[in-house]
């Protein structure tokens, strides 16, 4: 999408080290980074901890990860939203919690726009369309043609209603006019097991989750739902390359502050995170966890969040997904 391409261009330009001007004594005590998932639970927690460790090296006080899991990220987000806006609490937010949940839940204990000030976009883990080897198609065009010729015969798995895998599949269905059956699972492992055994025929998995099966030759990767190829899978084309630039989807990550946090503190945190994203060693660590690095200004983060909230709402509405 155009806003993603603009983001990448401006974000990369912002990754050069930025001057840090002292903003009073901040921070003069540890800074809390609220992560709305269990400790050790996948890419979200892994990347948050890497970022916190890198921030520790650049700030005079520690950045402490505080895991607050529950209700698909809503508990942690609400915890951060209710925290004092004094610069000592930040939220590690992502696409599902900030953009999908407002459309998925009838009631939320927080509002991603009203309760937070975006600080900086950190990066993205894109989805990738992979299919069972027995299905036949070896390209995205062949898969789309097959799906159109066999309505309702392709089952695609996900980690649940409203998950990144589900909405990526829904976006594909909406853009191509194909009819596929969504099969939700309790987690990625059983979905992958059924994909390998041909109980389901496709997954719009996160690239980090699909990587082992792709490298082992157990599934066929058809397209990365992004505008830039993944360095881990340089031979897999993007949907943008294949003429479907609007078919972009992934789990992006963002640092936010409770609404009303002093602007100079937000600016400094933005600068330090951008410094991390520009550091070769830190970049290697974050990219090793599967993250495509973005960065950029706080204004860009706010604009991106607003666009993504609207986009996710449209996809969720068309899919009929709902969590009460």
What gap in Å lies between CA 269 and CA 147, rounded to an integer?
47
Q: Residue 7 — very low, low, confident or very high, per pLDDT cuts 50/70/90? A: low
Average pLDDT of span 153-176: 96
Model confidence pTM above 0.85: yes
Average pLDDT of span 81-105: 97
10, pLDDT greater than 90: no
- Of residues 324 and 70, which shows the higher confidence score? 70
* pLDDT value at residue 5: 52
Q: Residue 21 — very low, low, confident or very high, per pLDDT cuts 50/70/90? A: very low
pLDDT in tens, 112-132: 999 999 999 999 999 999 999
pLDDT in tens, 49-68: 999 999 999 999 999 999 99
Average pLDDT of span 165-170: 97
Is domain 126-224 annotated with CATH 3.40.1280.10? no
Q: What percent of the chain has pLDDT over 70?
A: 92
Q: Which fold has domain 2-124+250-319?
A: D-Maltodextrin-Binding Protein; domain 2 (3.40.190)
* Domain spans, the chain: 2-124+250-319, 126-224
* pLDDT value at residue 14: 45
């Amino acid at each position: 999408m155009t806003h993603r391409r603009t983001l990448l261009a401006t974000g990369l330009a912002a990754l050069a080290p930025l001057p840090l001007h002292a903003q009073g004594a901040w921070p003069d005590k540890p800074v809390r980074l609220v992560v709305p998932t269990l400790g050790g639970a996948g890419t979200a927690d892994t990347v948050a901890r890497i970022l916190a460790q890198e921030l520790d090296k650049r700030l005079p006080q520690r950045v402490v990860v505080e895991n607050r899991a529950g209700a698909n990220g809503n508990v942690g987000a609400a915890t951060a939203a209710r925290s004092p806006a004094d610069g000592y609490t930040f939220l590690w937010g992502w696409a599902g919690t900030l953009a999908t949940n407002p459309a998925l839940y009838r009631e939320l204990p927080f509002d991603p726009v009203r309760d937070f000030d975006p600080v900086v976009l950190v990066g993205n883990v894109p989805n990738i369309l992979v299919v069972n080897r027995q299905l036949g198609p070896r390209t995205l065009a062949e898969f789309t043609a097959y799906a159109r010729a066999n309505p309702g015969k392709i089952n695609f798995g996900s980690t649940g209603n409203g998950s990144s895998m589900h909405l990526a599949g829904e976006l594909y269905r909406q853009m191509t006019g194909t009819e596929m059956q969504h099969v939700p699972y309790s987690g990625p492992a059983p979905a992958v097991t059924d994909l390998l055994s041909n109980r389901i025929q496709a997954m719009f998995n996160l690239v980090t989750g699909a990587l082992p099966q792709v490298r082992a030759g157990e599934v066929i990767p058809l397209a990365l739902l992004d505008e830039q190829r993944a360095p881990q899978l340089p031979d897999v084309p993007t949907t943008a390359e294949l003429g479907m630039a609007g078919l972009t989807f992934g789990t992006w990550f963002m640092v936010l502050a409770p609404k009303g946090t002093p602007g100079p503190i937000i600016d400094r945190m933005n600068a330090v995170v951008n410094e991390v994203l520009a550091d070769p060693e830190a970049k290697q660590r974050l990219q090793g966890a599967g993250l495509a690095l973005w960065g950029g200004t706080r204004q860009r983060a706010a604009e991106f969040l607003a666009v993504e909230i609207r986009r996710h709402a449209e996809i969720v509405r068309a899919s009929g997904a709902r969590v009460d």
